[in-house]
Structure 1
Amino acid sequence: MKNKQYLQHVKALTLCVWITFTNCKQEEKQEGTNMPENILLQEWTGPYQGVPAFDKMKAADIKDAVEFGIEESLAEMDAIANNSEAPNFKNTIEAMEASGKTLDRVFTYYGILSSNISSPEFRSIQAELAPKLSEYSSKIVQNEKLFQRIKTVYEASQETPLEAQEQRVVELTYKRFEMNGANLDASKKERYAAINKELSTLYNKFSDNVLHDEENYVTYLTEDQLDGLSDGYIKSAAKTASDKGQEGKYAITNTRSSMDPFLTYSTNRELRKQVWEKYYSRGDNGDAYDNKEIIAQILKLRKERVGLMGYDNYAEWRLQDRMAKNPENAMDLMMAVWPAAIARVAEEVADMQAVADESGDKITIEPWDYRFYAEKVRKKKYDLDSDEVKQYLQLDKLTEAMFFTAGELFNYSFTPVEEGSVPVFHEDVKVWEVKDKDSGKHIGLWYLDPFAREGKRSGAWATTYRSHTTFEGETNVLASNNSNFVKPAPGEAVLVSWDDATTFFHEFGHALHFFSSNVKYPTLNGGVRDYTEFQSQLLERWLSTDEVINKFLVHYKTGEPIPASLVAKIKKASTFNQGFGTTEYLASALIDMKLHLADPTNIDVAAFEKETLAALKMPKELPMRHRTPHFGHVFSGEGYATAYYGYMWADVLTSDASEAFTEAPGGFYDKEVADKLVKYLFAPRNAMDPAEAYRLFRGRDAKIEALMKDRGFPVK
């Protein structure tokens, strides 16, 4: 999601210095027009209100397109700032909301070139543009005339409130300027801008280092090293190796989607250790791509920057406009769950050690053993084989299941567009048109880019190429989901784990949040970080509903529905391994927060991570989900810095909201609760305070007890 979130923040004039951009060559201007020939700058044409020309974009075009867009956007801002008319909502705030359209289009292409099809050429350009984009953001937020106009409109709105969405835009815009140093004196503003410029380069370098280690640390296996691995996985690994010029070998790439199943099923313990070490040492190999010193510099600069505005630490500054409000509240939530999580890990490890002992394996459980022996415990305790479950989790059928869910809750239909009618940036990308089922009204397009490949960042994410607004005429939504499933050999089905299927539903929840938007202004399509994950986490719950299981979980070969006995085992094992899942996540969230609360003056990042985890009594048998040297959420930008706890905050809301459905007559498909879900939790986006929106849905604030019950932890 980060590309479009960046745009939304720039339009609101916040400093999104965590994203950097590319290079492109500006072409000659056409006679009689102010618009260069550069395709990335052109208005989108074609069907569906116009679509990006993904088939024509080139990395070489980015630099000049960004620079042209910056100049145009700054000129628009100067025109607003120097307007001779008295400041009001229309000539100041709404004018800002309407600005920057050319740069918006360029950033859409940037997001693809950065996240989906990156290349060494692009990364070089990206590094060159990073400080320029930081300067651009600083010039806007430090435009004194512009800020005074915003402040005038804001103060007037406090006396005479505007229409609800207008009032929300004014308050968000003013707050973002204020938080980003608009009230500083000239010398502090200069230092503030210099810090942001330096940070932008560091964020870019951090990301490049992680991507380098993901692309270059590959484990190649021979045929005698495949014991325990499934046929589908072996075929995919063979194809990946062949694509990398290693014919006859099998490639285990340094990504979670490749690492996770290998650690779960490979019987070769030494190889498991090798794969584990490569994955968890990304950015931490003591070479030119090591990120520890970069992190230390980032922490120092962040503290200095917020210190210019009088804050004691970065976390205090960052969380003031989040649901948590302050780091103490975020820490209280995490520490309320942490003891139960690590206690459960101790139980899980004891179970695994017992299985290992019974098998005569003569080992002590280590981190590279956790997934392998957890799978054996799952089979023993619940007679549940994850690989058996995968036979019923086909990517195509899961996609249909998501469409079904969207139809039941949101009344949407998804229809594949005619091949070739909408440009795509890779042959793997497919596109669907989204409509309202009853009226036939066009809602937008959904792009799916499902497979891992070189140049694509790891993980799964959602983004928008165009968001819904109405203030200049209603716009449709162009949204995408992006995954890193291992591409199968030709003719083979794409089978995924239950965890990966859950993530697939999660990211689709973000897409539905985009499609259901009912806001007037671009700024309101943004979100509060510890709230925006809630809607997507909630959608995960529909994967395990009977309606989805009975309709869409069918065997990939026979077409037979998943047996009721296997479904019963899945549900019975729903809290299995929650110690692992909760602890690896919370460890990362706690390190994130504690790093930003600490004095970074002489910080040793490696020692800090080790000592902090020891103080927390982190179980030695598992690592953080994201170790500090590759924690891109936090150090490739500022989107999740001191905010990784937000997934847990959102999960409290998720568990509590799920109870609203389980208590309803129609369960998870109850029409009345579903209507409230869309009306209060999806459609408003950031047009109202999240806490207020949740209370309108639930009739009260969320309670942590539902979360503890969901995870099988003791409820006090």
Structure 2
Amino acid sequence: MTNALTEDWTTEFGLPPFARITDDQFRPAFDAALAQSRAAIARIAENPEPASFANTIEALERADRLLNRVLGVFFNLSGADSNPAREALMRDFSPELAAYSSEVSMNAALFARVDALWQTRGTLDLDAEQARLLMLTRRSFVRSGALLEGADRERLAAITARLAVLGTQFTQNLLADERDWFMPLAEADLEGLPDFVQAAARAAGEEKGRDGPVITLSRSLITPFLQFSPRRDLRETAFRAWAGRGETGGDTDNRAIAAEILALREERARLLGHDSFAAFKLETQMAGTPEAVRDLLMQVWAPARAQAEADAEVLARMMREDGVNGALEPWDWRYYAEKRRAAEHDLDEAALKPYLQLDRMIEAAFACAGRLFGLAFRRLDVPLYHPDCRAWEVTRDGRHMGVFIGDYFARGSKRSGAWCSTIRDQQKLEAEIRPIVVNVCNFAKPQAGRPALLSYDDARTLFHEFGHALHQILSDVTYPSVSGTSVARDFVELPSQLYEHWLEVPEVLTEFATHAETGMPMPAEMLDRLLAAKNFDQGFATVEYLASALVDLEFHSGPAPADIMARQREILDGLGLPRAITMRHATPHFAHVFSGDGYSAGYYSYMWSEVMDADAFDAFLETGNAFDPERARSLERHILSVGGTAEAADLYAAFRGRMPGPEPLLRGRGLMAEPA
């Protein structure tokens, strides 16, 4: 039988033939691809010829070609459009992939070939990218246990396999909680909600098969509900469900899973010779040590907490003026902050939102990429994995640069959040391969025939994820292992967070922020108020983020806690977290940290990168032109096109001439006075 996943793809631009891919094809395709990978690894390890860069390192780069193609499709679908069959496959595939990874990293003959090249690297006449790849390859083997022996080697393999199972279970539990919970609203419950929130609630009800409106745990729906609903009781119900994901006490409870993950990570780090998992993880990052991370976060914590506490007093006073007794609670903050924003900045989100149409914001992101990097986007009419998806060919001066897929709307089959992934990475190992890049968001889907409207935060999210996409699209390296976003975790957010700044350039909003009904541009005075309010409530936003980042860091910097929720409370109490602010991601739903190792001991990365992105955008502003072509060329040449071919600090210094301090970040968040 033919299998669309393993046959040659003759589709336009080599896109996956989504219309012919079925769930029952994944298992045989995975098995065939994994067998092919194992055979390729055996050929490399058992090659009788002396190790060379070509027959060992480059051969390793090719070994998983089919496996990467199959998984590129599967992982995208399992995150963005899951179903019971795909969830079952994920539970099966995760430990099998972990076992394969351990087989490779602990293959003594294979590591001996890699290590022989490393020991003689000075005689190999490697170019800079090859020398970097050799170093990264050997380092990956060592950090995966290649130097361990006997029982330690076996134990590390068992830990790796168990962590894969637990990460998958954590993710699926969270998806189940988010998918299954909703709060029906009677017509009277809609009172006080702007039209766009009512429309989103009705659309969510349709998606859930209900006759009336509902509130779900999609951030793009629950956040505006918390901002605008005058019903304190309903806000409390919705907030508690949102904050309680993964902590329900039933089959989807994640607390024991998170505790076991922390214990296994600590054991893994100690097997590999490190005092803590944070020390192990940060060894290869820009920060280098937990102490360096803690120092940065605490420099920001003090002014952010002071601002948040001052804001809390204002909001509590507003609440008392409304006749509400008692303390300001987390389900009160957004409601009174929105009322305060309307009063102090004359900025009503219900009036603002019609100017932030999804389609126009996509056009804005594309237009900025055109002005900065000469990219052009042509809409494609091709089969994709879901009817909500859309695709574009990306070109520059007529040259094909890649395919970009946008999947923007929330649905029950999609995990929460927003992310950028690839179905195919850029490389030039044997031929010029251009990437297929996917941006996934969870914006509220409108009712049929109505335009999708974004909040300003939604629009920033769109620009953020497209910044990641540009890092992939503009990649121009030879080897897939260092392609695109294959960089230090605390550097990977620089391109995405930097790209957010172009949304704030007044001429961008003047052109693309047009009213959904009238087509008129956003009035100049509204634009001025919007930009003046960009740092409104920044104390809250910074504190809720830092609370999560510091809990993540402390969890991984010492012994694994026996009671993770007690340890979470202890850390937050020690910080003096204001009572009306919670962690952005509490432990039982902290997918960044517990769904896999990606951001474990690394949630700080957003702020580490923000130190650079604030300074990098200053480089453009210093020219007097936010689209300065020379700066844009330098950004592409030194950062966006080179992937992980050099140390992140060296790449940034090549662009900016130096490394920045935290001052631009603090000023950018409104937590430090502007220089006189």
1:658-669 equivalence runs, <5 A: 658-665=617-624, 667-669=625-627
Match of 1:13 in 2: none
1:208 aligns with 2:208: no
Match of 1:380 among 329, 343, 356: 343
1:276 aligns with 2:276: no
C-alpha offsets along residues 523-565 of structure 1, whole Å, 9 cap, x if unaligned? 1111110001111000000001122111101111111111111
Match of 1:624 in 2: 583
C-alpha offsets along residues 567-619 of structure 1, whole Å, 9 cap, x if unaligned? 1111221221111111111111111110111212x510111111110111011
Match of 1:573 among 533, 547, 561: 533
Match of 2:523 in 1: 563
Match of 1:167 among 96, 120, 131: 131
Code of the residue aligned with 1:672 in structure 2: it is E
1:470 aligns with 2:455: no
1:450 aligns with 2:412: no
1:509 & 1:245 partners in 2: Cα distance? 35
1:105 aligns with 2:69: yes
Match of 2:153 in 1: 189
1:222 & 1:156 partners in 2: Cα distance? 73
Q: Is the 8 A contact 2:243 2:586 kept in 1?
A: yes
Match of 1:696 in 2: 654
Match of 1:234 in 2: 198
- CA deviation after TM superposition for structure 1 residue 160, in Å: 5.4
C-alpha offsets along residues 413-435 of structure 1, whole Å, 9 cap, x if unaligned? 00112x2xx22011111111111
- CA deviation after TM superposition for structure 1 residue 233, in Å: 2.3
1:121-520 equivalence runs, <5 A: 121-158=85-122, 162-247=126-211, 249-417=212-380, 419=381, 422-436=382-396, 439-520=397-478
Q: Is the 8 A contact 2:173 2:253 kept in 1?
A: yes
Q: Is the 8 A contact 1:356 1:363 kept in 2?
A: no
Which of 168-177 and 378-387 deviates more?
A: 378-387
- CA deviation after TM superposition for structure 1 residue 363, in Å: 4.7
Q: In structure 2, the residue corresponding to 1:61 is in which secondary structure? A: helix
C-alpha offsets along residues 331-353 of structure 1, whole Å, 9 cap, x if unaligned? 11111101111111011112212
Match of 2:502 in 1: 542
Q: In structure 2, the residue corresponding to 1:277 is in which secondary structure? A: helix
1:17-36 equivalence runs, <5 A: 28=1
- CA deviation after TM superposition for structure 1 residue 120, in Å: 1.4
2:11 & 2:456 partners in 1: Cα distance? 39
Match of 1:20 in 2: none
Code of the residue aligned with 1:486 in structure 2: it is A
2:251 & 2:216 partners in 1: Cα distance? 21
1:514 & 1:427 partners in 2: Cα distance? 24
- CA deviation after TM superposition for structure 1 residue 39, in Å: 1.7
Code of the residue aligned with 1:51 in structure 2: it is L
2:663 & 2:200 partners in 1: Cα distance? 42
Match of 1:651 in 2: 610
Q: Is the 8 A contact 1:460 1:507 kept in 2?
A: yes
CA gap of 1:366–1:69, structure 2 versus 1, over 3 A, is same
Which of 531-540 and 92-101 deviates more?
A: 92-101
- CA deviation after TM superposition for structure 1 residue 59, in Å: 2.1
1:46 aligns with 2:11: yes
Match of 2:551 in 1: 591
C-alpha offsets along residues 11-35 of structure 1, whole Å, 9 cap, x if unaligned? xxxxxxxxxxxxxxxxx5xxxxxxx
2:37 & 2:627 partners in 1: Cα distance? 46
1:363 & 1:304 partners in 2: Cα distance? 45
1:161 & 1:276 partners in 2: Cα distance? 60
Which of 273-282 and 422-431 deviates more?
A: 422-431
Q: Is the 8 A contact 2:424 2:437 kept in 1?
A: yes
2:603 & 2:9 partners in 1: Cα distance? 35
C-alpha offsets along residues 340-378 of structure 1, whole Å, 9 cap, x if unaligned? 111110111122123223344445311001111001111
Code of the residue aligned with 1:662 in structure 2: it is L
C-alpha offsets along residues 385-424 of structure 1, whole Å, 9 cap, x if unaligned? 122221210001001101110001110000112x2xx220
Match of 1:68 in 2: 32
Q: In structure 2, the residue corresponding to 1:60 is in which secondary structure? A: helix
Q: In structure 2, the residue corresponding to 1:391 is in which secondary structure? A: helix
Q: Is the 8 A contact 2:379 2:392 kept in 1?
A: yes
2:225 & 2:23 partners in 1: Cα distance? 35
Code of the residue aligned with 2:440 in structure 1: it is N
Match of 1:707 in 2: 665
- CA deviation after TM superposition for structure 1 residue 242, in Å: 2.8
1:603 aligns with 2:562: yes
Q: Is the 8 A contact 1:73 1:103 kept in 2?
A: yes
Match of 1:673 among 631, 637, 650: 631
Q: Is the 8 A contact 1:53 1:423 kept in 2?
A: yes
Code of the residue aligned with 1:659 in structure 2: it is D
2:209 & 2:568 partners in 1: Cα distance? 38
- CA deviation after TM superposition for structure 1 residue 384, in Å: 1.4
1:78 & 1:388 partners in 2: Cα distance? 63
Code of the residue aligned with 1:584 in structure 2: it is E
1:484 & 1:598 partners in 2: Cα distance? 35
TM-score for the superposition, normalised by structure 1: 0.92
Q: Is the 8 A contact 1:236 1:488 kept in 2?
A: yes
Q: In structure 2, the residue corresponding to 1:97 is in which secondary structure? A: helix
Deviating beyond 4 angstroms after TM superposition, the runs of 4 or more aligned structure 1 residues are 158-161
C-alpha offsets along residues 35-80 of structure 1, whole Å, 9 cap, x if unaligned? xx222222322222x1111222222222222122111101101101
Q: In structure 1, the residue corresponding to 2:63 is in which secondary structure? A: coil
Q: In structure 1, the residue corresponding to 2:421 is in which secondary structure? A: strand
Q: In structure 2, the residue corresponding to 1:444 is in which secondary structure? A: strand
C-alpha offsets along residues 225-270 of structure 1, whole Å, 9 cap, x if unaligned? 01221223212322322332321x2111112122101101111110
Q: Is the 8 A contact 2:195 2:350 kept in 1?
A: no
2:124 & 2:414 partners in 1: Cα distance? 49
Match of 1:637 in 2: 596
Match of 2:493 among 530, 533, 545: 533
1:561 & 1:239 partners in 2: Cα distance? 27
1:350 & 1:563 partners in 2: Cα distance? 33
What's the C-alpha RMSD, in Å, of the aligned pairs? 1.3
1:427 & 1:481 partners in 2: Cα distance? 15
1:464 & 1:68 partners in 2: Cα distance? 22
Match of 1:7 in 2: none
2:582 & 2:632 partners in 1: Cα distance? 38
Q: Is the 8 A contact 1:470 1:520 kept in 2?
A: yes
2:123 & 2:351 partners in 1: Cα distance? 64
1:58 aligns with 2:14: no
Q: In structure 1, the residue corresponding to 2:365 is in which secondary structure? A: helix
Q: In structure 1, the residue corresponding to 2:393 is in which secondary structure? A: strand
Code of the residue aligned with 1:82 in structure 2: it is E
- CA deviation after TM superposition for structure 1 residue 159, in Å: 5.6
Q: Is the 8 A contact 1:238 1:250 kept in 2?
A: yes
Q: Is the 8 A contact 2:401 2:435 kept in 1?
A: yes
Q: Is the 8 A contact 2:477 2:641 kept in 1?
A: yes
